[in-house]
Amino acid sequence: MLGLLATAALLGSGAAIALMVIPEPEAAVVTPAPTATPAPVVAKQLGGLTPAQKRARHEAAVVMREQGYEPVRLADWKPAHDLRVLIGEADTGALRAFFFLRREFVGNDDPSSSGKLRVASVGAKGITLAYGLNTGGNQKVRFEWRDGELKPAAEVPPISLR
């Protein structure tokens, strides 16, 4: 009797070990149907620039550096519009606006630099700059591309005031 119980215990232990070691049969694998590849994203989400737009902005900055100016604020570059602008700052702190028609440099706001200058607004029809005046406040001047030329809608304040 003891032998029979020992054999049963041995077989039971072997069966328990086998159940722990032998893998369970796998369920049938269902492969999902392939989905269409999404179209490439032209621009980053949230208003980012495409690589081509970044390259155009970089080329604009190179033009500025060749004239001795560093871009102040790259976010002023709005590639959705044909007329684009970047404000540049010289080593002396002097500021000047650099205008581009798409990728081509078309001129500055004025032959003289300014002490305080910023982009006030950029739209489809033009760009408005705000000139800080030494008398206080600022004066806004809108620039447009008309008849193949960069034209201010009003006179740029004289250098003595800016």
Cβ contact 74:87 at 8 Å? no
Rounded CA gap, 18 and 24, in Å? 11
Q: Is residue 6 assigned to a domain?
A: no
- Residue in 156, 162, 159 with CA at minimum distance from that of residue 140: 156
Q: Is residue 98 assigned to a domain?
A: yes
Q: Is residue 62 assigned to a domain?
A: yes
Q: Is residue 16 assigned to a domain?
A: no
Q: Is residue 140 assigned to a domain?
A: yes
Q: Name the strand (E) or helix (H) holding 8.
A: helix 2-21
- Residue in 99, 107, 101, 97 with CA at minimum distance from that of residue 82: 101
Q: Is residue 90 assigned to a domain?
A: yes
Q: Is residue 160 assigned to a domain?
A: no
Structural domain count, the chain = 1
Rounded CA gap, 162 and 157, in Å? 7
Q: Where are the beta strands (DSSP E) in the chain?
A: 70-71, 83-89, 95-101, 104-108, 117-122, 127-132, 138-146, 149-152
pTM score of the predicted model:
0.71
Measured in whole angstroms, the distance separating CA 69 from the mean position of its chain's CA atoms is 22
Cβ contact 103:147 at 8 Å? no
Q: Which residues, listed in sequence order, are joined to residue 152 by a DSSP beta bridge?
A: 143
DSSP designation for 20: H
Q: Is residue 33 assigned to a domain?
A: no
Rounded CA gap, 99 and 60, in Å? 9
> Which domain range does residue 108 map to?
49-152
Tens of pLDDT along the chain (162 residues) come to: 556 445 555 555 554 454 455 555 544 444 445 555 544 444 443 458 999 999 999 999 999 999 999 999 999 999 999 999 999 999 999 999 999 999 999 999 999 999 999 999 999 999 999 999 999 999 999 999 999 999 999 999 999 999
